[in-house]
């Protein structure tokens, strides 16, 4: 029930005009929104500030209401439906109804277990070593994978870049490599990723060779590491928007 | 070309046979002392053709007539199999053309031989043989290998498209051909409306499975894949129902006039036949699932149960003039889910392979028979009819695709793009079904049967060869991102990473179904059906045996040392070594890219890769295993580094699939057996899971008492069964490690399970409280435990 409450809380907090994008595009920036404090989307990789616990009464009130009809603040149905589904999923993953997810909860997803990047993906939900992710944090990570729509492109330039922009998508991928968060993919980090992704039949020596080459290929300033800029450049031709979008997160 | 080479080689056997035949014909007498088996066949042929009465008791007698049919059928199948081997020897060939091309070519070859030697071919196919023996395996295989979840998620669109598409095509082609027949110049005046409609219905039976292989390679989206698959699955049934109904009308028309009432009755019947068939199938599916619940002691008959009940559903439905095809499909779909959990691993494999084999044999026979009837004099070539048939097939398919998808797109969350629709339009490949139906037309009712058969053959040849070969390039062409072939190493790596990332995030999001009905069914399934139909003790899943296939000992060693030796998997790797780090030459980039492309893990796919003619070795399973082992290492490392690893808890639910057996067992006896099990690498040990289970429940209380930090989670709604334990994650490393040591000493049932979410479907209320077992932590955990007992393992 806490989970639902948090959705209601968020949705209730947002004022109508911009609220549609608020979680996904991160445009809920108006100072009047109480949610503002938790959603500083201009820097998507900051740890989410602790979500204020909901006072009991609100939880109870929301619990009385059917989950399918939260107040109204998400005008277009798609986004709201997605959010509800995500919340449903969040609750399903949240084993002990504790209101947040731990690494353990995510590790239990069977298909993720056989994903070579499973650990890194899970880790990306827990920025800066935090132990739990609440629903807004959960959605914020997933928001990177929202498909880019045409309407998103002609946004007010003053607004922060939406989480699903090309740059943010790339940055999200980049931080899967960049373990030490120094803004660069070192040779060692590249090697680690290669170890995860390449089958055992390739020898360690070959892997090191490949890592060297990969870094060398992308490295332009000669510092022996791949910066985010260089990373972006190497993927210039790719349709990242499409590669890193999941249709169901519309 | 390997094909050419092989065709000559494959046909060599037959030619040899025939040459020998000619020789023996030329020779004056039967050589009675000939006892070499090689000469058996030619002699037999000779004996069959010679009618000399020989009244004396001969030492050596031949009766080729007695064995002719099975003998020749066996030879055909063998020939086709050899041709397939050759087809796949050259690895690029299967990518170029669908396998049905090969089968047709082999059929034409056999037909040519039979025609050339004036040999009377055995009557392989008549109506009863086709409908009673050849068709059911093909349909059963399609139903059994259908990916259930995506099918039911798209069931609305699939039904809409498959049913209405078949009807529109049948009626459209039939009616427009009827108009053509009215033109005097074409000399088709004697073909009446009903005959045209019947022809329309049989020619609209598409068999697009051949193109699925192309899709798989081109990675088209799941819903498109399911559309094609669903069409292939349902199309046969609908066409056959329509065909039989029209045959009945035609018969009736011969004697009396058809009144509007009859047409209405026909429509009603169409529905009854379809729905009744499906009902029959579902009932039989549940019965057979229920029966496999009790077969644990005689697992050898498990496949038999599956096959016999499927076949029985077909026959029973046919007895009542319901659609047997739909019945057997529904039966396969219904029982699959439960049977797979009930039967033993070996039975499961047997069922899979046997099903593939049966359907493959059926289809080979049909194609060969098609080839046989292609070469011959029984054709009536009417340019107008054939050309217009070909044109109308394409036109009406286009009309039905674009019209039906235009409508269904209005209701879909994720509409089909024009590109998707073009691919669906182009995938209208005709196959064995059309030919069989055309071939089985009763001559008494259809004086122009020869023309129909010829037209059908032309359509099949055209679609299989021209469309089948060009659809691959077309899909690739439409798929724009594939055209960018020049990729750097970075791109290669990053793209694969993104694919994995996307797949992972999709898994985090879970599967979203848009159907309330499905959720309802899942609840019902959890509450009642599974309890009735599935054995109490959980059977081993495919993953268990798979895990065991990798030598257990080796796996343990690998895990123990934390090193995966590159020789562990004996896959020869021919990638060139790259020496020195200088400038990147294009060749270097090329070779590195090749290494990466070949060896990077594939992204998991939700739809099982489906190939009509073959069961692929499960590379994905092997890969999954590898990743599990490796990730276990990383988990351990991260544990050492002080990242907290939550302590896992074994949880019992119905949805668990074992990944491996526990490394230890509270009872020392049990441990010994397990150690023994490791050493002899036992293939199947049916007792083990239950041992684990009882152990698990026994030590539950023990754990509760011993560990103060255990927080017994509230027993979930499924009652005591799913009671689960978890250690609250320790905050400090010391505590953590301490906990680990303590746990390591404690008897613990660390069996490793993973929730097969992809198979069991998405999240639902039912699954929300289905406790999933945490395999990862269990594994990390079990490792420690294992280490503490390692002397035991090393001793043996």
Instruction: Note the pLDDT tens digit of each residue in B271-320.
Output: 898 899 999 999 999 999 999 888 888 888 889 999 999 999 999 998 99
If you measure CA to CA, which chain A residue comes closest to B755? A110
The residue in chain B having the minimum alpha-carbon distance to the alpha carbon of residue A239 is: B481
pLDDT value of position B246: 87
B459 falls within a domain: yes
Query: Who's near B369: CB < 8 A, 6+ residues apart?
Result: B107, B124, B125, B439
Residue B315: predicted pLDDT? 94
What confidence score (pLDDT) does residue B393 get? Answer: 93
Q: Are B757 and A118 inside 8 Å of each other by CB?
A: no
The residue to which tokens 């990944």 are assigned = B659
Q: Work out the minimum CA distance from A154 to partner chain B, whole angstroms.
A: 24
Q: Which of B505, B638, B775 shows the shortest C-beta gap to A121?
A: B505
Confidence of residue A75 (pLDDT cuts 50, 70, 90): very low
Cβ–Cβ contact B499 with A under 8 A: yes
Per-window interface: B 205-264 vs A, CB < 8 A: none
pLDDT at site B649: 33
What is the distance between the alpha carbons of residues B681 and B550, in angstroms, rounded to a whole number?
Answer: 9
Nearest chain B alpha carbon to A226: B490
Name every chain A residue with its beta carbon within 8 A of the beta carbon of B604. Answer: 111, 114-115
DSSP state of B661: -
What residue numbers bound the domain in which B337 lies? 127-478
Contact yes or no for A243 and B499 at CB 8 A: yes
B446 falls within a domain: yes
H/E stretch holding B503: helix B489-509
Partners of residue B669 on adjacent β-strands:
none
Residues 396-455 of B with CB under 8 A from A: 413-414
Among the listed residues B266, B285, B265, B287, the one whose alpha carbon sits nearest the alpha carbon of residue B277: B285
User: Please, which residues have CB within 8 angstroms of residue B260's CB and are 6 or more apart in sequence?
Assistant: none
What is the signed CA dihedral for B507, B508, B513, B516, rounded to 10 degrees? 140
CB-based contact A16:A75 (threshold 8 Å): yes
At A181, is the pLDDT very low, low, confident or very high (cuts 50, 70, 90)?
Answer: confident
What domain count does chain B have?
A: 1
From residue A101, how far is each of A3, A49, A136, B76 by CA, in Å? 11, 15, 11, 61
Cβ separation B506–A246 shorter than 8 A: yes
Please tell me which of the candidates B488, B502, B729 has its beta carbon nearest to residue A243. B502
Structure tokens at B413: 């969350």
**Distance (Å) from the C-alpha of residue B165 to the closest C-alpha of chain A?**
27
Q: Which chain A residue is nearest to residue B586, measuring alpha carbons?
A: A217
Q: According to the model, what pLDDT value does residue B769 have?
A: 34
pLDDT, residue B405, reads 92
Coil vs helix vs strand at B598: helix
Structural domain contains residue B738: no
**Two tokens, residue A7:** 């959705």
- The residues, ordered by sequence, that sit 6+ positions from B111 with a Cβ below 8 Å of its Cβ are B368, B371, B372, B373, B374, B375, B376
- Residues 6 or more apart whose Cβ sits within 8 Å of residue B26: none
d(CA B210, CA B469): 10
Under DSSP, the state recorded for B596 is H
What is the spatial distance between Cα A186 and Cα A211, in angstroms, rounded to a whole number? 9
Give the pairing type, strands B725-727 and B710-712: antiparallel
Nearest residue to B362 (alpha-carbon basis) of B127, B613, B611, B120: B613
Which residues does A65 contact at the CB level (< 8 Å), separation at least 6?
A8
Q: Which residues of B touch A234 (CB under 8 A)?
A: 488, 490-491, 494
Any residues with CB less than 8 A from the CB of B202 and at least 6 apart, and which? B239, B243, B434, B437, B438, B456
Q: How far apart are CA B47 and CA B27, in angstroms?
A: 12
Residues near A101 by beta carbon (within 8 Å), at least 6 away in sequence = A90, A93, A94, A125, A132, A133, A134, A138
Q: Is residue B347 in some structural domain?
A: yes
Q: Choosing among B149, B221, B420, B490, which should be mutated to test the A contact, i.e. which has the most A CBs within 10 A?
A: B490
Rounded to whole angstroms, how far apart are CA atoms B502 and B504?
5
pLDDT of amino acid B771: 34
Nearest to B757 among A110, A142, A218 (CB): A110
Task: Flag whether residue B502 sits within 8 Å of chain A, measured between CB atoms.
Answer: yes
Q: Cβ contacts (< 8 Å) between B626 and chain A: which residues?
A: 199-200
Residue B490: closest CA among chain A residues belongs to which residue? A214
Give the C-alpha distances (Å, rounded to integers) separating B130 from B365, B369, B440, B453: 10, 11, 9, 16
pLDDT of residue B753: 38
> Does B668 reach chain A within 8 Å, measured CB to CB?
no
CB contact under 8 A, A202 and B599: yes
Residue B242 lies in a domain: yes
Alpha-carbon A115 to chain mean position? 17
How much of chain A, in percent, has pLDDT values that exceed 70?
61
Q: Cα-atom radius of gyration of chain B, to the nearest Å?
A: 31
Residues whose CB is less than 8 angstroms from the CB of residue A203 and which lie 6 or more positions away in sequence, other chains included: B566, B573
State the pLDDT confidence band at A6, using cuts at 50, 70 and 90.
Answer: very low
Contact B494 A173 (CB under 8 A): yes
Whether B563 has its CB under 8 Å from any CB of chain A: the answer is: no
Polymer length of chain A: 250
CB contact under 8 A, A243 and B498: yes
Q: Which segments of chain B have a pLDDT < 70?
A: 1-55, 121-124, 209-210, 213-214, 216-220, 255-256, 413, 479-487, 511-519, 536-586, 598, 602-796
Query: What are the chain A neighbours of B500 within 8 Å (beta carbons)?
Result: 115-117, 197
Question: What b/e readout covers B326-351, taking b as 16+ CB neighbours within 10 angstroms?
Answer: bbbbbbbbbbbbbbbbbbbbebbebb
Output the pLDDT for position B174: 92
Residue with tokens 């990729």: B487
Q: Calculate how close chain A gets to B641, using CA atoms only, in Å.
A: 13
| Strand intervals (E) in B646-749 | 656-660, 710-712, 725-727
Inter-chain contact A218–B648, Cβ cutoff 8 Å? no
Residue length of chain B? 796
pLDDT at position B608, please? 52
Question: Is residue B590 situated within a structural domain?
Answer: no
Which of B489, B571, B775 lies closest to A217 in CB terms?
Answer: B489
Contacts of B124 (CB under 8 A, 6+ apart): B69, B73, B365, B369
Whole-Å CA distances, B28 to B25, B31, B46, B52: 7, 9, 11, 12
Question: How far is Cα of residue B108 from the mean position of the Cα atoms in its chain?
Answer: 27
> How far is the alpha carbon of A171 from chain B, nearest alpha carbon, in Å?
12
Cβ separation A117–B568 shorter than 8 A: no
Q: Which DSSP string do the residues of B610-636 spell out, in sequence order?
A: --TT-PPP-HHHHHHHHHHHHHHHHHH
Q: What Cα–Cα distance (Å) separates residue B537 from each residue in B419, B534, B677, B693?
A: 48, 9, 20, 8
- Number of cross-chain residue pairs from A and B with Cβ atoms under 8 Å apart: 225
> DSSP code of B345?
H
For the whole prediction, is pTM greater than 0.90? no
The answer to whether the CB atoms of B575 and A213 lie below 8 A apart is no
DSSP B59: S
Secondary structure (3-state) at B581: coil
Q: What is the pLDDT of residue B470?
A: 86
- With respect to residue B632, please indicate whether it lies within any of the assigned structural domains: no
Residue B707: Cβ-neighbour burial (10 angstroms; 0-12, 13-18, 19+): middle
Chain B residues in contact with A213 (beta carbon < 8 A): 489, 578, 581, 584, 588-589, 592
Is residue B653 assigned to a domain?
no
pLDDT at B705: 41
CATH of the domain at B160: 1.20.1530
Choose among B497, B578, B767: nearest Cβ to A193.
Answer: B497
Reduced to 3 states (helix: H, G, I; strand: E, B; else coil), residue B660 is: strand
pLDDT digits (tens, 9 = 90+) for B22-70: 444 444 333 433 344 444 444 444 444 445 555 677 788 888 888 888 8
pLDDT, one tens digit per residue, over B323-343 is 898 999 999 999 888 888 888
Predicted confidence at residue A12, as pLDDT, reads 35
* Contacting residues of B for A88, CB less than 8 Å apart: 763
Chain CA centroid to CA B35, Å: 45
Consecutive H or E run containing B68: helix B64-89
Give dist(CA B227, CA B154) in Å, integer. Answer: 8
Q: Is B653 helix (H, G, I), strand (E, B) or coil?
A: coil
Q: Which residue of A has its CA nearest to B480?
A: A239
Q: For residue A198, give the chain B residue with the closest CA.
A: B600
């Amino acid at each position: 029930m806490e989970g639902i409450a948090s959705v209601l809380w968020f949705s209730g907090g947002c004022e109508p005009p911009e609220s549609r994008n608020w979680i996904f595009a991160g445009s809920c920036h108006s100072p009047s929104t109480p949610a503002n404090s938790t959603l500083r989307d201009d820097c998507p990789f900051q740890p989410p500030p602790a979500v204020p616990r909901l006072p009991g009464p609100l939880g109870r009130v929301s619990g009385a209401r059917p989950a399918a009809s939260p107040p109204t603040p998400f005008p277009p149905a798609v986004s709201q439906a997605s959010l509800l589904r995500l919340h449903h999923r969040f609750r399903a993953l949240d084993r002990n109804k504790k209101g947040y997810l731990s690494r353990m909860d995510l590790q239990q997803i069977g298909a993720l277990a056989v994903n070579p990047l499973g650990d890194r993906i899970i880790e990306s939900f827990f920025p800066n070593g935090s132990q739990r992710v609440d629903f807004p944090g959960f959605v914020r990570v997933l928001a990177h994978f929202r498909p880019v729509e045409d309407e998103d492109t002609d946004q007010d330039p003053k607004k922060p870049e939406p989480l699903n922009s090309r740059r943010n998508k790339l940055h999200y991928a980049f931080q899967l490599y960049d373990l030490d968060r120094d803004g660069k993919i070192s040779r060692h980090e590249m090697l680690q990723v290669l170890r995860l992704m390449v089958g055992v039949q390739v020898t360690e020596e070959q892997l090191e060779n490949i890592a060297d080459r990969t870094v060398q290929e992308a490295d332009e300033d000669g510092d022996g590491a791949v910066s985010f800029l260089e990373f972006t450049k190497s993927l210039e031709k790719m349709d990242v928007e499409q590669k890193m979008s999941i249709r169901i997160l519309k | 070309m390997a094909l050419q080479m092989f065709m000559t080689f494959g046909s060599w056997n037959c030619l040899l046979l025939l040459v020998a035949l000619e020789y023996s014909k030329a020779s004056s007498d039967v050589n009675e002392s000939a006892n070499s088996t090689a000469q058996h066949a030619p002699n037999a042929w000779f004996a069959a053709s010679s009618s000399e009465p020989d009244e004396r008791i001969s030492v050596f007698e031949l009766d080729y007539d007695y064995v002719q049919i099975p003998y020749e059928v066996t030879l055909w199948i063998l020939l086709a199999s050899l041709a397939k081997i050759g087809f796949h020897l050259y690895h690029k060939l299967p990518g170029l053309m669908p396998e049905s091309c090969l089968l047709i070519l082999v059929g034409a070859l056999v037909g040519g031989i039979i025609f050339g030697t004036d040999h009377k071919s055995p009557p392989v196919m008549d109506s009863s043989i086709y409908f009673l023996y050849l068709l059911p395996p093909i349909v059963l295989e399609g139903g059994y290998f259908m990916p259930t979840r995506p099918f039911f998620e798209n069931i609305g669109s699939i039904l809409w498209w498959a049913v209405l598409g078949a009807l529109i095509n049948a009626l459209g082609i039939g009616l427009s051909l009827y108009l053509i027949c009215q033109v005097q110049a074409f000399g088709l005046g004697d073909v009446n409306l009903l005959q045209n409609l019947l022809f329309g219905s049989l020619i609209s039976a598409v068999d697009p499975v051949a193109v699925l292989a192309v899709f798989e390679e081109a990675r088209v989206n799941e819903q498109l894949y399911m559309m094609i698959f669903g069409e292939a699955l349902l199309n046969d049934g609908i066409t056959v129902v329509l065909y039989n109904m029209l045959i009945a009308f035609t018969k009736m028309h011969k004697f009396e006039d058809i009144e509007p009432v009859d047409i209405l009755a026909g429509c009603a019947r169409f529905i009854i036949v379809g729905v009744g068939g499906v009902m029959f199938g579902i009932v039989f599916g549940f019965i057979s699932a229920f029966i496999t619940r009790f077969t644990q002691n005689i697992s050898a008959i498990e496949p038999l149960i599956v096959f016999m009940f499927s076949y029985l559903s077909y026959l029973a439905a046919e007895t009542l003039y319901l659609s047997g095809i739909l019945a057997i499909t529904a039966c396969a779909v219904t029982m699959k889910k439960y049977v797979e959990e009930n039967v033993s691993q070996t039975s499961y494999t047997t069922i899979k392979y046997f099903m593939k084999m049966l359907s493959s044999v059926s289809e080979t026979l049909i194609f060969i028979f098609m080839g046989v009837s292609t070469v011959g004099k029984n054709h009536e070539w009417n340019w107008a009819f054939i050309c217009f048939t070909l044109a109308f097939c394409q036109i009406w398919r286009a009309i039905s695709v674009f019209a039906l998808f235009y409508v269904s797109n209005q209701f879909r969350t994720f509409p089909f793009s024009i590109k998707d629709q073009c691919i669906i339009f182009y995938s209208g490949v005709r196959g064995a079904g059309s030919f069989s139906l055309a071939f089985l037309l009763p001559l008494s009712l259809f004086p122009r049967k020869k023309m129909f058969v010829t037209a059908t053959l032309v359509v099949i040849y055209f679609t299989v060869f021209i469309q089948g070969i060009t659809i691959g390039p077309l899909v690739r062409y439409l798929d724009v991102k594939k055209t960018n072939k020049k990729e750097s190493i970075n791109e290669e790596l990053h793209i694969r990473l993104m694919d994995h990332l996307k797949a992972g995030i999709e898994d985090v999001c879970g599967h979203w179904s848009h159907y309330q009905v499905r959720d309802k069914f899942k609840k019902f399934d959890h509450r009642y059906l599974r309890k009735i139909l599935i054995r109490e003790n959980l059977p081993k899943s495919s993953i268990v045996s798979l895990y065991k296939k990798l030598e257990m000992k080796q796996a343990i060693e690998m895990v123990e040392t934390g090193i995966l030796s590159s020789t562990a998997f004996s896959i020869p790797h021919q990638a060139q070594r790259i020496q020195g780090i200088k400038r990147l030459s294009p060749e270097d980039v090329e070779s590195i890219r090749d290494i990466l492309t070949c060896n990077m893990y594939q992204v998991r796919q939700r739809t099982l890769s489906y190939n009509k003619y073959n069961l692929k070795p499960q590379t994905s399973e092997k890969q999954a295993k590898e990743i599990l082992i490796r990730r276990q290492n990383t988990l351990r490392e991260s544990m050492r580094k002080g990242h907290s690893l939550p302590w896992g808890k074994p949880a019992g639910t119905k949805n668990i699939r074992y990944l491996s057996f526990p490394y230890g067992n509270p009872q020392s006896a049990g441990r010994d057996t397990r150690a023994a099990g490791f050493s002899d690498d036992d293939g199947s040990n049916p007792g083990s899971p239950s041992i684990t289970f009882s152990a698990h429940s026994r030590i539950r209380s023990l754990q509760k008492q011993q560990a103060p930090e255990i927080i017994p989670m509230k027993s979930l709604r499924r009652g005591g069964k799913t009671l689960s334990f978890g250690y609250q994650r320790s905050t400090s490393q010391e505590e953590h490690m301490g906990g680990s040591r303590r746990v390591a000493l404690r008897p613990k049932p660390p069996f490793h399970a993973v929730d097969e979410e992809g198979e069991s479907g998405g999240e639902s209320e039912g699954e929300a409280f289905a406790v999933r077992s945490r395999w990862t932590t269990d594994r990390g955990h079990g490792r420690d435990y294992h280490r503490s007992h390692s002397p035991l393992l090393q001793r043996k």
